[in-house]
Amino acid sequence: MAMETNPHNRVLNHIALHIPDLEAAVTWYTSLFGFRRLRSGSVCCSRTTDPEAPIFRVYDSKLHQVKLAFLSTGNGVGFELFQFIDPPMSEPASFDYTRGGVFHVAVTDPDPEALCERLVKAGGRKIGETVVPASCKNDAEKQVALYCQDPWGNVIEACSCSFEKMMANRE
């Protein structure tokens, strides 16, 4: 495979989560993170009524029905939520950092501890301790990061500053 010499630094367009209860997840993410819903209702795709819908051209014939909601984060990155109806979602696996796939989604919040408290009160849970990233230990203004799970097992990191501020110019 040929690698580009100077590849274009692409922006993150969106991330999609698979959850078992679409409306509960929409409420959770909009009320706790302030994500905005881009359409007034969810989109429901059924292979029976719309067999040419793009999702049925991507996924195999086992998928018959799915509901989607489209949210937007504070910086315009899309946040999609998928509820597979037929076949339904199997029981989510408990968090295991050794399994492959998406490890976590991260948000920036000026007070990660307060955000985490709200997430826990709304059915989430905190994972481990709040930490000062190694790259920020000598900063005059201490930055922190912590991990939580949503009620469906997805891991969310809350950082007190941007990724670039946390990681740039570090040796």
CATH number at residue 36: 3.10.180.10
Q: What is the mean pLDDT of residues 96-101?
A: 67
**Of 72, 91, 110, which residue sits at a domain end?**
91
Quote the tokens at residue 53.
Answer: 């819908």
Q: Where are the alpha helices (DSSP H) in 6-127?
A: 22-33, 54-58, 112-121
- 8 Å CB contact between 89 and 66: no
- Between β-strands 155-159 and 105-108, what pairing exists: parallel, antiparallel or unpaired? parallel
**Of 91, 109, 139, which residue sits at a domain end?**
91
Nearest to 33 by CA among 108, 103, 104: 108
Residues 86 and 111 in one domain: no
Quickly state the pLDDT bin for 97 (edges 50, 70, 90): low
Q: In total, how many domains does the chain have?
A: 2
Residue 138: how many CB atoms within 10 A of its CB? Answer: 8
Contacts of 55 (CB under 8 A, 6+ apart): 45, 63, 66
119-160 pLDDT, tens digit each: 999 999 999 999 987 767 666 677 899 999 999 999 999 999
12-30 pLDDT, tens digit each: 999 999 999 999 999 999 9
